[in-house]
Amino acid sequence: MSRRHAIDPALFVEQITAHYPHERCHLDWDTTRPWTLLFAVMLSAQCTDARVNRVTPVLFRQFPDLEAYIAQPRELLEQCIHSTGFYRMKARNIHLTAEQLLTQHRGTVPDTMEELTALPGVGRKTANVILWNLYGKNVGFVVDTHVSRIAQRTGLTEQHSPEKIEQDLMRQLPQEAWGEMSHRLVQFGRDTCKAPVPRCSTCFLASSCPKRSVEKSR
Ligand code: SF4
């Protein structure tokens, strides 16, 4: 990858960290039931955290343990998560994942990338969120639409697939920062490096960012 038009990775980490010192996962979950984070992340696909946070209190009351996802009708689960979109597919994946957690992991959420991505509907992005937030493990970098966009505009990647963008970020950013940086970047993408029009005029990275593919900014 050409680095001629890329932001300095060390400066990038330093500046983002300075501006977002305490950023965290915005999904609500119950620390006494770790699977609630896994299901909240699964529900957040193609949906906002705010909407998921409105749905999960009802869902986790109706389905208080993993056994409930097996015992109760799938239609009830679909009804509970309907407003998060793609509800049939999500209900199927959550149902099957609950089953696998009970039969293969003694009701716990596994702590390896291999075991997590073997669960129905769990890809690297979800697994990375779980590994960092449940176990403090920096195995990979969470790449969502915000992270992809920022990485491309700052020149940290020229790639378009989440897998390749993740590889570029893992190569350039320090491993101990991966988990926290991904949460910081999501917030930075929400309030400054926005889609489709970034707020470059007030951005703290403006003097060092190449603003790649930015045609219009505020
Ligand atoms: S808002 Fe503009 S200057 Fe800031 S990171 Fe995004 S593209 Fe670069």
41 lies in the same domain as 104 = yes
Answer yes or no: is 182 within a domain.
yes
Answer yes or no: is 160 within a domain.
yes
Q: For residue 75, give the CATH number of its domain.
A: 1.10.340.30
Q: Say whether 125 is catalytic.
A: yes
**1 pLDDT exceeds 50?**
no
**5 pLDDT exceeds 90?**
no
Which atom, in ligand 1's list, is nearest to the CA of 153? 7
Query: In percent, how much of the chain has pLDDT > 70?
Result: 98
The angle at the Cα of 84, spanning 83 to 85, to the nearest 5 degrees, equals 90
Question: Residue 34, SS3?
Answer: coil
54-80 pLDDT tens trace: 999 999 999 999 999 999 999 999 999
15-26 pLDDT tens trace: 999 999 998 899
Answer yes or no: is 133 within a domain.
no
CA proximity to 113, closest of 92, 137, 148: 137
Question: Measured between alpha carbons, how far is residue 105 from residues 51, 99, 214 in Å?
Answer: 29, 10, 46
The Å distance, Cα 198 to ligand 1 centre, comes to 6
Question: Measured between alpha carbons, how far is residue 119 from residues 15, 124, 142 in Å?
Answer: 36, 11, 18
Question: In total, how many domains does the chain have?
Answer: 2
Range of the domain at 79: 35-108
**103 pLDDT exceeds 90?**
yes
Per annotation, catalytic residue among 28, 65, 144, 164: 144
Q: For residue 197, give the CATH number of its domain.
A: 1.10.1670.10
The Å distance, Cα 203 to ligand 1 centre, comes to 6
Question: Residue 112, SS3?
Answer: coil
Whole-number average pLDDT of the chain: 95
d(CA 19, CA 191): 12
Residue in 13, 192, 197, 202 to alter for ligand 1 test, most ligand atoms within 8 A of Cβ: 192
Band (pLDDT 50/70/90 cuts) for residue 216 is confident
Answer yes or no: is 54 within a domain.
yes
162-196 pLDDT tens trace: 999 999 999 999 999 999 999 999 999 999 999 99
